[in-house]
Structure formats: structure tokens, C-alpha cells
């Protein structure tokens, strides 16, 4: 069984609550929500800025995962400003988001760079969420499946353990825009992805790897998206900054 995976991507923001320690309130609300779901299994991850990792990891009390939004492909060296898997693990962080379209766009991360990071995270025993997604132009030209297949093949090596990786399908044109693909299109894309993954990596891997959707997910549309075939969770940007909205999204697994 694939446990639903709900992830928050704060990007370069901190959470927006009115209390003196908003991170604490945020973490407590998530933990209350998870407890409220009782026996319904759900895995929640919060990908926050490096500056908030230690605080959030303490607040999470092992009830949800805390992860970084990127990491360098080697363990150490003269790379001013960068953070490695080893450094993340030094502070108890075992989760990382890789290949987000904003990293690919603003930091020129190619598939080859993403592949190195994915490999490095797995070699170091981290759990990673690998983002893939097509541009508006590629979508309009009917190239979505080709683009996604290439990104997957380039980023994920054969024999990668399925429990170490989550694939996040995020159409670039849906990120932060309020434009969400139709439920039919999300279903078709996710189903095609799983079929492709089965052909490329074997059915055992394809049956267990989680494929989540991201791009303008909010408290209103999350429940429907979470119940689509072959959708195993959601990656949430803007709406994850408000604990009430994010908790509503987590509750969408019901
Ligand atoms: P969004 O961002 O939910 O604000 O569209 C999603 C993401 O970039 O991961």
C-alpha cells in the first residue's frame, strides 16, 4: 500500500501566523491533524529554508518529516554557500526536495545535476522528493509525456530503492498561478507515468513508488486531487504557509 504523502514547500518564506513562535503553532497544528486522522496513515513532510530546519526538526517530534529544499551533489569542499547531505545529516535532517523547477530555472540545474543530487542523497541514506514538470509551451505542443519520461530517466538510476524516493509531478505553468490541469489530465499523466516507470524500472518499483501532484494545490481542490487514480499525494507551495490551509489539505486524504 502506498501511504499518502503530503508535502509543504515553504520556498523562501517563513510561516505566517500571528503568534510569537509561529513555527511551534504550525507544527502543533500538523501534529493535531495527524492525530485526528487516527488510524488513517499519512506521511507529512515540511521542506523549509535551511535557517528553519533545526527549529522545525525539534518541533516535529518525529510526527512529521522536516527536509531541505536543495543540497549540493558532493559531501564537502570549497563550495561557498552550499549545503551537503552530510551537513544536513549532522543536524538530523534526512529529507530533501530535489530538482524543483525554480532550481532548474534560476540555478540552471540540468537533468544531469539533478541526477547527481538524487544519487548523492540516496548514497547518504536520505529520502528525496524529485520534481519533474513540463513548461506551458511543451504542454501546448503535446510534449508533456515525452518531457516527463526524459526527466525521470535522467534523474533516477536503475535499482534505486522505491522507498527512498517520491516523484513529484509539477506542471511549471500550474505553480503559483492558480491554473490546475483538469482532473482528467492529472489522472492521465500520473497513469502514463506509472506505466512508463513499470516498463523502465520494473513493476515492483512502479507499484511502490509514490507519484504526487504539485501546482496550485489548496484546501479546496486537494481532496479531489488526492483521490485520483495513481495520485499518491500532493506537494504544496503557497497554501502550505498557512497552517489551517495546510491542515485542510492533509485532511483531504480522508
Ligand atoms: P504552489 O507551488 O502550490 O504555490 O503552486 C507548488 C510548488 O512549487 O511546489
Question: What are the residues facing 214 on neighbouring strands?
Answer: 235
Cβ proximity of 121 and 111 under 8 Å: no
What is the pLDDT at residue 1? 85
Cβ proximity of 250 and 33 under 8 Å: yes
The answer to whether the CB of 168 is under 6 A from ligand 1 is no
Atom 9 of ligand 1, residue of closest alpha carbon: 237
- Give catalytic status of residue 109 as yes or no: no
Three cell numbers, residue 213: 501532484
Please tell me what DSSP assigns to residue 14: -
Choosing from 23, 100, 109, 190, which is the catalytic residue?
Answer: 100
State the distance from the centre of ligand 1 to the C-alpha of 77, rounded, in angstroms.
Answer: 32
Atom 6 of ligand 1, residue of closest alpha carbon: 237
CA distance 53 to 80: 19
Helix (H, G, I), strand (E, B) or coil at 224: helix
Atom 1 of ligand 1, residue of closest alpha carbon: 237
The answer to whether the CB of 175 is under 6 A from ligand 1 is yes
Atom 7 of ligand 1, residue of closest alpha carbon: 237
Of 126, 137, 209, 110, the C-alpha closest to 169 is 209
Helix (H, G, I), strand (E, B) or coil at 236: strand
Helix (H, G, I), strand (E, B) or coil at 65: strand
What is the pLDDT at residue 15? 85
CA distance 157 to 153: 7
Helix (H) or strand (E) holding 37, with range, is: none
Averaged over successive runs of 10 residues, the pLDDT of the chain (254 residues) comes to: 96 80 93 96 98 96 97 97 98 98 97 97 97 98 98 95 97 98 98 98 97 98 98 98 96 96
- Give catalytic status of residue 100 as yes or no: yes
Index of the ligand 1 atom closest to the CA of residue 214: 6
The answer to whether the CB of 214 is under 6 A from ligand 1 is yes
Cβ proximity of 205 and 196 under 8 Å: no
Amino acid at each position: 500500500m502506498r501511504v499518502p504523502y503530503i508535502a509543504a514547500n515553504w520556498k523562501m518564506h517563513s510561516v505566517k501566523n500571528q503568534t510569537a513562535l509561529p513555527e511551534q503553532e504550525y507544527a502543533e497544528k500538523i501534529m493535531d491533524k495527524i492525530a485526528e486522522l487516527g488510524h488513517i496513515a499519512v506521511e507529512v513532510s515540511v521542506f523549509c529554508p535551511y535557517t528553519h530546519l533545526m527549529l522545525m526538526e525539534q518541533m516535529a517530534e518525529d510526527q512529521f518529516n522536516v527536509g531541505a529544499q536543495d543540497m549540493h551533489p558532493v559531501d564537502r569542499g570549497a563550495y561557498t554557500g552550499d549545503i551537503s547531505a552530510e551537513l544536513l545529516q549532522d543536524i538530523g535532517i534526512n529529507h530533501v526536495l530535489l530538482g524543483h523547477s525554480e532550481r532548474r530555472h534560476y540555478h540552471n540545474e540540468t537533468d544531469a545535476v539533478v541526477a547527481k543530487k538524487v544519487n548523492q542523497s540516496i548514497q547518504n541514506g536520505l529520502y528525496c522528493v524529485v520534481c519533474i514538470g513540463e513548461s506551458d509551451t511543451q504542454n501546448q505542443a503535446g510534449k508533456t509525456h515525452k518531457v516527463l519520461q526524459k526527466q525521470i530517466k535522467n534523474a533516477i538510476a536503475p535499482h534505486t530503492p522505491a522507498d527512498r524516493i517520491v516523484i513529484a509531478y509539477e506542471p511549471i505553468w500550474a505553480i503559483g498561478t492558480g491554473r490546475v490541469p483538469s482532473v482528467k489530465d492529472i489522472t492521465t499523466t500520473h497513469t502514463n507515468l506509472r506505466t512508463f516507470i513499470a516498463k523502465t524500472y520494473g513493476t515492483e518499483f512502479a507499484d511502490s513508488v509514490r507519484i504526487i501532484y504539485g501546482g496550485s494545490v489548496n484546501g479546496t481542490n486537494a481532496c479531489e486531487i488526492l483521490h485520483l487514480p495513481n495520485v499518491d499525494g500532493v506537494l504544496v507551495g503557497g497554501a502550505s504557509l498557512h497552517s489551517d490551509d495546510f491542515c485542510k489539505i492533509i485532511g483531504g486524504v480522508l
